[in-house]
Amino acid sequence: MFKKFVNLHSSIFAKLELFAENWLIGLWPRFVFAAVIMQYYLNSAGTKVSSGFLGFFNVQDAAYFQILPKVIERYNYDASQVPFFPYDIIVYAGTYTEFILPILIITGLFTRLAAIGMIGFIIVQSYVDVMFHGVDKTAIGQWFDPISDSAIADQRVLWIFLLSILIIKGAGKLSLDRLITFALRNN
């Protein structure tokens, strides 16, 4: 009886794994990213640029306040006085990264590289939050405790795990990566 149950169990989940392997494993993390994380980053990026289509190309002083609060304070809150290298580069890169990487992940274009970039971004963001924005112990949280709602130790680690799946498995069949690969193979 037990052997039949184990065989049935193995058979059902082997079929499920085979069914999901080539498309769901890449699509599902991208869907969850879109549903849970994408809007967070696009809204954050939107606070750093001017409004309107061309506003995308005009990084506002708010970007300096959010990304480099201690640096902007050193220059009396005047972004025009902040040196181009390295600070302007950091602010512009951080701002446009928040726009570009989520869009690449959702569309499944250069997904693995975009996921690596997002993981790096999340790590830097967490470091800035702790070192420069002074988040408290509750926001930082800790692992293996009974409270699972901290912004950094709990939520962002789950985000990184989700992105790690995309690095390992790729975007799957329903992606621009797959379409490009198919087109290149057939030329």
pTM: 0.87
**Residue 97, number of CB atoms within 10 A of its CB:** 19
How confident is the prediction along the chain (187 residues), in pLDDT tens digits per residue? 889 999 999 999 999 988 888 788 899 999 999 999 999 999 999 999 999 889 989 999 999 999 888 889 999 999 999 998 898 999 999 999 999 999 999 999 999 999 999 999 999 999 888 887 888 888 899 899 888 889 999 999 999 999 999 999 999 989 999 999 999 999 7
Tell me what pLDDT residue 148 has: 87
CB 118 within 8 A of CB 101: yes
Rounded-to-5 percentages of helix, strand, coil across the chain:
75, 0, 25
**What are the residue boundaries of the structural domains of the chain, listed by start?**
24-185
Residue type, 153: A
Q: C-alpha distances in angstroms, 16 versus 3, 20, 159, 165?
A: 20, 6, 25, 18
Per DSSP, the three-state class of 52 is coil
Q: Residues 112-142: pLDDT tens digits? A: 999 999 999 999 999 888 887 888 888 899 8
Tell me what pLDDT residue 21 has: 81
Q: C-alpha distances in angstroms, 26 versus 19, 168, 178, 179?
A: 13, 9, 11, 14
Tell me what pLDDT residue 99 has: 95
Measured at the alpha carbon of residue 93, what is the angle toward residues 92 and 95, in degrees to the nearest 5?
65
